[in-house]
């Protein structure tokens, strides 16, 4: 039976949404295309009608998850854009840490990306750059541009690593898992609010 263009488009979206969720829960290598198709209510063949390979589906699923994460970071709250502290509190919350299926796609997949196809790596890199840009936009404009970039990169990578490490030790040492979140939150806050560098240390070196 021939599927209409509208139904085909809906099936494609369903496959991407399902793959994004399952790959966050179980990892990219931890779920097969047959499982994804079944969970989406579609046949194995229907999946391959939309995606030539699992790698192609993984790339689209990751892009979908990254877009969802970007929307969460940039959506106005109570009529205004969220401040840096609000973003940090939300990202490093125990609730987000525990909700793998709906959490950050980068934190869920970071340990696997290096083993995936270049198309998957490209999506991850693009998502990371967008995350960096968001945090960079929240820093004090008086901070030198090069320093802004450096701090924003540090923040983004620290956040992703904190969630990943916290999840890794959660079952064995829940106290340590929470400590990781709190420690990284405090450290990032220090980095973000640290005053801009001056030439004072340069002068003292010349003495």
Query: What pLDDT does 142 receive?
Result: 78
Give counts: helices (H), strands (E), the chain. 11, 0
Torsion-angle region of 75 (φ positive above 0: left; ψ -120 to 50: alpha; else: beta)? beta
Q: What is the pTM of this model?
A: 0.86
**Which of 79-88, 101-110, 185-194 is the least confident region?**
185-194
Number of domains the chain is built from: 1
Q: Which domain holds residue 82?
A: 5-196
Contact (CB, 8 A) for 163 and 104: yes
What angle, rounded to 10 degrees, do the helices at 145-169 and 84-91 form? 20
**Which of 15-24, 83-92, 137-146 is the least confident region?**
137-146
| Res 115 pLDDT > 50 | yes
Q: CATH number for the domain including 25?
A: 1.10.357.10
User: Rounded distance, CA 65 to CA 88, Å?
Assistant: 19
205 inside domain? no
Average pLDDT, integer, range 140-149: 84
204 inside domain? no
């Amino acid at each position: 039976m021939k599927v209409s263009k509208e139904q085909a488009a809906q099936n494609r979206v369903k496959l991407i949404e399902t793959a994004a969720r399952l790959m966050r829960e179980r990892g990219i290598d931890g779920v097969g295309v047959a499982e994804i198709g079944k969970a989406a209510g579609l046949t194995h063949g229907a999946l391959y009608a939309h995606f030539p390979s699992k790698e192609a589906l993984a790339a689209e699923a990751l892009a979908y998850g990254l877009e969802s994460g970007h929307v969460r970071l940039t959506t106005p709250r109570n009529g205004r854009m969220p401040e840096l502290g609000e973003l940090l509190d939300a990202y490093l919350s125990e609730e987000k840490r525990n909700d793998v299926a709906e959490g950050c796609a980068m934190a869920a997949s970071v340990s696997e990306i290096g083993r995936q196809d270049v198309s998957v790596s490209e999506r991850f890199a693009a998502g990371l750059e967008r995350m960096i840009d968001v945090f960079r936009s929240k820093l004090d404009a008086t901070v030198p541009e090069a320093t802004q970039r450096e701090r924003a990169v540090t923040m983004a990578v620290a956040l992703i690593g904190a969630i990943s490490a916290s999840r890794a030790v959660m079952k064995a040492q829940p106290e340590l898992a929470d400590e990781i979140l709190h420690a990284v939150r405090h450290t990032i806050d220090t980095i973000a609010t640290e005053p801009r560098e001056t030439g004072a240390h340069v002068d003292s070196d010349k003495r």
